[in-house]
Amino acid sequence: MTVDIEGLLGAEGKKLLEHKCTTIPKESIHLPTPDYVSENYALSDRPTPVLKSLQSLLDHGRLANTGYLSILPVDQGIEHSAGASFAPNPIYFDSENIVKLAIEGGANAVASTLGVLGSVARKYAHKIPFIMKFNHNEFLSYPNTFDETLFASIKQAYDMGCVAVGATIYFGSAESRRQIWEVSQMFQQAHEMGMATILWCYTRNNAFKTKDKDYHVSADLTGQANHLGVTIEADIIKQKLPENNGGYMAVNFGKTSPLVYSKLTTDNPIDLTRYQIANCYMGRAGLINSGGASSGDSDLAEAVKTAIINKRAGGMGLISGRKAFQRPMADGVKILNAIQDIYLDKKVTIA
């Protein structure tokens, strides 16, 4: 598949494809390479079986042996309700089709719930790496509460053959201290059992959204969420692509430095994403950005743009779900392949 990058980017093409990052130079970042596990994780305190699990993630799919990841995540049946998630394409009520899409789409791994992965584990766990997400927000409690609840154990992930586990923490929320402790303990268990760890580092607090902007996606706040995530030894950080900056100052809380805004970032999304990577120990833990909600006809262009920003910033890849599964499977495969093509394209360089 050949992606018409310039055609899809349109007027933004020059800003994204020709940008050179001078805020945090690429030479200071631990960039994805075919030897990324040996160059980074192997120097840490991770147990040897964890290194094998991380390498198995990087050795699978169309991006095998590149150091990059393309992951299909489908936990939206809990996070957003099954109806909201799968009504646009009801075949994905069947858990097997979720795994089939990841395989057909050439993904490195499939990330989903205990129920989804467990229902087909004996058929597929040896065919594609499994990542079990063990906590979720659920949208049936009324009135709605926004808290991540444990849905599964680390042993259940191990028993079904997962190579990694995933979790979400709502950093900034009233419940975040409890979530940090729960996830930290379970990540330790996962490492002891030889599995890698992936953390969805989301910010969540009503005060982060003002009348002018939504600072849940500001580079400074998401960057600090990343820094908290690597502190509890998440091997890979999942984060939303930054859309603005200055959350600390807009909300007027916490501590930051004017240098974050004058020297370490600009308004270019590549520079903002590089600041997210800087908070992942300068890339010693890989950053994967999320693909976001499905917007319909613009999904392909949005996915390609996100992949370019992540790659040029020095990120490790994309984790994209709704853009792929809320459409016919063949079209979902094309979206995943288009994302992967960006990471395979040597003309898309590190800024």
The catalytic residue positions are: 238
Contact yes or no for 320/295 (Cβ under 8 A): no
Closest to 291 measured CA to CA, from 326, 247, 245 = 326
Strand partners, 200: 168, 238
Strand partners, 165: 132, 197
As a whole number of angstroms, the distance between CA 120 and CA 72 comes to 16
> Which residue is associated with the tokens 């690429």?
26
> Which residue is associated with the tokens 């699978």?
60
> Which residue is associated with the tokens 């590190």?
350
Checking 301-304 for CB contacts under 8 A at 24+ apart, the result is: 301/8, 301/9, 301/10, 303/335, 303/338, 303/339, 304/3, 304/5, 304/8, 304/9, 304/338, 304/339, 304/342
Distance of CA 118 to the CA centre of its chain: 22
Six token digits for residue 98: 């979720």
